[in-house]
Amino acid sequence: MMRRAMSLAVLLILFALPLLAMAQAQEPPEFDNTEQEQRYKELTTELRCVVCQNQNLADSDAQLAQDLRKEILGMLKDGQSDDQITGFLVDRYGDFVLYRPAIGGNTLALWLIPGVLLGGGAIAVFVTVRNRNRRLAEQQQKGSS
Amino acid sequence: MIGRLLPVIIFLGLGILLAAGLKIADHKTELPSPLIGKQMPEFALPILGREETIVTNEDLVGEPFLLNAWASWCPTCRVEHPVITDLARSGKIRVVGLNYKDEKADAQAWLARFGDPYDLTITDISGRTAIDFGVYAAPESFLIDSNGTIVFKQIGMMTPEVIETEILPRLEQWSKSP
């Protein structure tokens, strides 16, 4: 009985070991206030990691993402605005870091194409439905006369 | 008539769009640097092995050079090392190393083992200057002209083709019209 309890305890401790790695991997940043924490969270989820390009800065464990998070925290504590902070990254890595890039010459197509496609689709559906209704109405008229 | 051609036109349009997308996708992990055409960022970093000497961006202005960001932990840097060495030995351009987020001992051991092609190597242990250069994956190389302007950036491995098509033509042009 005693031995079973012992081995159970050992097993439990072993299962808990990965938690140590987690605790080491991510030091939680220290914020001055909750507003700063909120802005930090928003900025890091809005900014893309340049190393693992399908992740945002908040989720990425890449070394550079950690460094950039540290930079962002430092800039927040310096009292810089959100625009200044995203500008810092755009100046160095380009529009790519933004999930929602500013509307400008080279991103205009990116912003317009979805709307154009949606509008075109809506018009196509409208025209098709109207023509079919007309045809049906004509057929009905022929049928009744 | 137009009604019948419309699907064909839409199909062709989509086809062109997707083909362009595929072409872009070939290079999708390489981001165009917004720093091209701009002055290199300010920095003040110690020289590897002579840490008491600090080099600033101003110190490097005057003649064109290639700034090669490398690290001992970076396997691709090992692969491109002979290419960088050949370029440095050709004497056509000054090659400066930017040792990126490395340990001093590891960096020196790496150079001792594979050879040191660099005129000098500046050390960026924190990686802060590399962020200003927009470095996101070592190796990266920057061609900087005699005014200190970044004119070309190679992301990833330097190859003989890139030297042939991007670097040497610019050097020739500069030597003609200084």
The CATH number assigned to the domain with range A2-100 reads 1.10.8.640
For chain B, the average pLDDT equals: 90
pLDDT digits (tens, 9 = 90+) for B107-136: 999 999 999 999 999 999 999 999 999 998
| Residue numbers in A near B28 (CB within 8 A) | 53
CB A68 within 8 Å of CB A40? no
**Torsion over CA: A30, A36, A38, A42 (sign):** negative
Both tokens assigned to A100: 């929602």
Q: CB A67 to CB B31 under 8 A?
A: no
A80 φ/ψ angles, rounded to the nearest 5 degrees = -80, 155
Q: Is B79 on the interface with A (CB under 8 A)?
A: no
Per-residue pLDDT, B110: 95
CB atoms within 10 A of CB A84: 11
Per-residue pLDDT, A21: 64
A34 φ/ψ angles, rounded to the nearest 5 degrees = -70, -30
Domain ranges of chain A: 2-100, 103-145
Q: Give DSSP secondary structure letters for B126-166.
A: S-HHHHHTT--SS-EEEEE-TTSBEEEEEES---HHHIIII
Among residues A57, A31, A80, A66, the alpha carbon closest in space to that of B126 is found at A66
Asked whether the predicted pLDDT for residue B79 surpasses 70, the reply is: yes
Asked whether the predicted pLDDT for residue B26 surpasses 70, the reply is: no
Per-residue pLDDT, A31: 84
pLDDT digits (tens, 9 = 90+) for B128-175: 999 999 998 889 999 999 999 999 999 889 999 999 999 999 999 988
Lowest mean pLDDT among A86-90, B81-85, B112-116: A86-90
Per-residue pLDDT, A62: 83
Mutation target vs B (from A64, A70, A113; most B CBs, 10 A cutoff): A64
| Residue numbers in A near B128 (CB within 8 A) | 67
Per-residue pLDDT, A27: 63
Average pLDDT over residues A69-91: 90
Whether ipTM exceeds 0.90: no
